[in-house]
Chains A and B, each alone.
Chain A
């Protein structure tokens, strides 16, 4: 099968690649572009470890084809830091010990960022439902919810 040429924007940079029409965006990111921050935990959209945003919308990169990124904007965990500084979510995840093994962390950060972009002041329940598509097996989610709550406060302070 012949490859498809794709021109897209990833983490703000113009990127071009050729991919197989059956190839997922996740495989393109990881195997062709070296962006291994997004992880494959299931390959069926159940675990959220491969969460990225596509034109600002939260998606599982394992359920998007590489070819679908044509002309769109993809943001991965590698694009969360701003001007070389950690995003408040990243800072608070470390400060709250919100990760143990860390394999789910990139997905949680991207999903939490998508939440804060649309709801800068989420309550506990809103955080829990917004992150219900991301599986973590280590933490019991306790410290993750607290970290997101604290980061939301930091983001609001910055925006003021």
Chain B
């Protein structure tokens, strides 16, 4: 049956409360099974040989010695993975990223893989594989890669989005442009014009669980894959396509996931594990090392961005322009485009333009990282916003409030906004006690705004009612941070039963129809919507069973507070039938009671956040300390506020690490120099203060409960908020992320020298 997705402003009984998560006990006792926690009879250990070179032609691979080593059961190279992609260039890129085809494109690019009876034998076999490389010139910096004469990463790539169509290969895979109005006229009208350039370094999602899978393929063409993933249905489609298997014959089960943040939306080693298993005809477990995770999965882009803002003296922006250069690693993608789309989304602008460049370099293929591309653009835009506010002598919050987008604003990337939360988050920031708290010496305060689109997508859920009146809810989005609790709340709310009577499970690919990957903050939004509709379908069945039991017309039955109630005076003698009673009687009234729903969950509501932070800078060493941090974000509707707060806090912490510490460091040889948690330092417990949160609820008109995605937006403001705070504390504008102690110290010293010289 068709369901209405419109927001109805219903009163909630349990949505919005904070019950205990259903997977809590398993996770505090060590019982929860993650990617590396599965075992199969006769399983082999898979390991991967990786290129030590940033860019090299692979002239020959000799695996003969490895194959002869006792205990080795399979060795594969790209020769074992023929191109079955039928002209789908994106799919071929995925295959080539999983295993180099003639050329190694980055330090860490896989060139061969081995399955052996144990890890020791497998590692020994890797050393016996002889690869004959011819080293090629490489480029790892985004600006260098755009220069004429730069080494070409992908000779087949021609820049799209420019006229006339280029005939020569370029590292710029696409140019995209967004905006409206006439920016030059707008700048001409401005009293103040500020233009700055910014750089951000490459960071990694840094999930604590490395990629891991257990693959099993038999000679009958059937297979199973146990894997830590954000999208087991997508993994099934991709792996089946790359290996020439029937989609229905590959069952993919998502393990508990030990963090993803976008990094587990793509396949990396899974097709290799399946290919090894098929060749050895035994299960193969393949677990990446941390070094491999850093070198050979999908970090986010490093960027180089120019921003220009013009404004009148009274604080109205007359024109805004951004040029954004994002490196996508060694394969074309859309990250520069997303940077261009998100850059001005917070503001109501008459004249606006953003140009995005997607650039290829000899680094690993970039994957999504939480609100991908938006934090870097926000860093550049929000830093410049502060500079303009200071120049015209206006409070930075008031300046943003004056220019904030609102309902009816035409967004710089195209659509016209419905009800949105940017204005309310700014007002909340303005009124927040944090804004008025005193600062000590060497401390600075910064604030910034952020935007994320959010996503809905294909979703399928299944709700089955047991004869004891308990409910089994099966969803196809993975639970990355408490979704099972939220979805159980929604099912219980709809059915009118206690939360404890619902058990939510993540279904494998054989149990449900296709579900899109859990990305774009879509888990609770879209599976929540499908759960509401599945429950409503089940209620229709329950009402039919009650009507049948009472022998009355189903039109005279209503569902109220977990029971069927007979309407009309002549049915006044009929006692209501509870869900448990109807379930117990179900074997005699027509069999099992269930509700299903398949939906393309359109209408994901855009989300905005405003952050405030205080940073102390030691002017002698450049060391920073986060003193206070406040997150204000619009959630639409917080289903389980604990896990909404958790998303806000976790996103802010990732942003803090990105702003202050985290950075991929490449040597002149094009090799990654800090592929470990010691040298790639993510924030630890003693680095951070408590992170205060304020949840605003501006309902999304396109969801029955008003839900917006909440998972990503709060990684967008921190880079800028912290840069503004550090700049205020240090008395010098920081334009390069991360603001590590050496970079801050250098900026302070340079400013001192300029002051003395001036």
Contact = CB atoms under 8 A, between A and B. Distances in A.
A59 interface: no
Interface in A35-57: 35-44, 46-47, 49
Contacts of A43: 289-290
Interface in A105-160: 105-106, 109, 125, 127-129, 131-145
B682 A135 contact: yes
A6 B604 CA distance: 57
B234 interface: no
User: Closest 8 A-B residue pairs measured CB to CB?
Assistant: A37-B30, A103-B258, A140-B653, A102-B27, A100-B481, A94-B24, A46-B677, A97-B642
Contacts of B687: 132
Contacts of B287: 40
A125 B690 CA distance: 11
A101 interface: yes
Residue in B289, B654, B678, B684 with the greatest tally of chain A CB atoms within 10 Å? B684
Main secondary structure of the interface of B (DSSP, over half): loop
B275 interface: no
B210 A139 contact: no
Contact of B30 (A36, A104, A131): A36
Given A39-B209, A97-B643, A81 B688 contact: no
Contact of A138 (B20, B120, B259): B259
A10 interface: no
A99 interface: yes
Interface of A: 20, 22, 30, 35-44, 46-47, 49, 76-78, 80-81, 86, 89-90, 93-97, 99-106, 109, 125, 127-129, 131-145
A101 B257 contact: yes
A136 B208 contact: yes
Contact of B646 (A22, A93, A97): A97
A11 to B, nearest CB: 10
A109 to B, nearest CB: 6
Contact of B209 (A35, A97, A101, A141): A101
Interface stretch (B33-41, B108-116, B699-707): B33-41
Interface string B411-445: 00000000000000000000000000000000000
A44 B686 contact: no
B256 interface: yes
A80 B29 contact: yes
B666 interface: no
Interface of B: 18, 20-21, 23-25, 27-34, 36-37, 120, 205-210, 256-261, 287, 289-290, 480-482, 642-643, 645-646, 649-650, 652-654, 676-678, 682-688, 690-691
Nearest to B27: A102
A144 B685 contact: yes
Given A46-B678, A100-B646, A102-B27, A138 B481 contact: yes
Contacts of B260: 101
B640 to A, nearest CB: 8
A80 B25 CA distance: 12
Contacts of A37: 29-31
Contact of A128 (B290, B481, B686): B686
Contacts of B684: 131-135, 141
Nearest to B119: A27
Contact of A38 (B30, B650, B682): B30
A42 B290 CA distance: 5
A136 B27 CA distance: 14
Given A41-B290, A86-B28, A137-B261, A102 B691 contact: no
Contacts of A133: 684
B210 A41 contact: yes
A100 B653 CA distance: 14
Contacts of B23: 102
Most buried by A among B30, B643, B682, B685: B685
A86 B30 CA distance: 12
B690 A41 contact: no
Q: Which residue, of B260, B645, B646, has the highest number of chain A Cβ atoms within 10 A?
A: B646
B686 A106 contact: no
B259 A143 contact: no
Most buried by A among B24, B25, B683: B24
10 contacts: A36-B37, A41-B208, A41-B290, A97-B646, A100-B480, A102-B23, A136-B685, A137-B259, A140-B688, A144-B685
B677 A44 contact: yes
Given A103-B209, A137-B205, 15 more contacts: A36-B37, A39-B208, A39-B209, A40-B210, A78-B29, A80-B29, A89-B28, A94-B20, A95-B20, A102-B23, A103-B34, A106-B30, A136-B685, A138-B259, A139-B653
A81 B31 CA distance: 12
Contact of B677 (A42, A76, A129): A42
Contacts of A104: 208, 258
Nearest to A107: B208
B290 A142 contact: no
A101 B30 contact: no
Interface centre among B34, B645, B686 (most CB of A within 10 A): B686
A115 to B, nearest CB: 11
A105 B37 CA distance: 15
B677 A141 contact: no
Contacts of B690: 142, 145
A71 B30 CA distance: 24
B34 A99 contact: no
B28 A132 contact: no
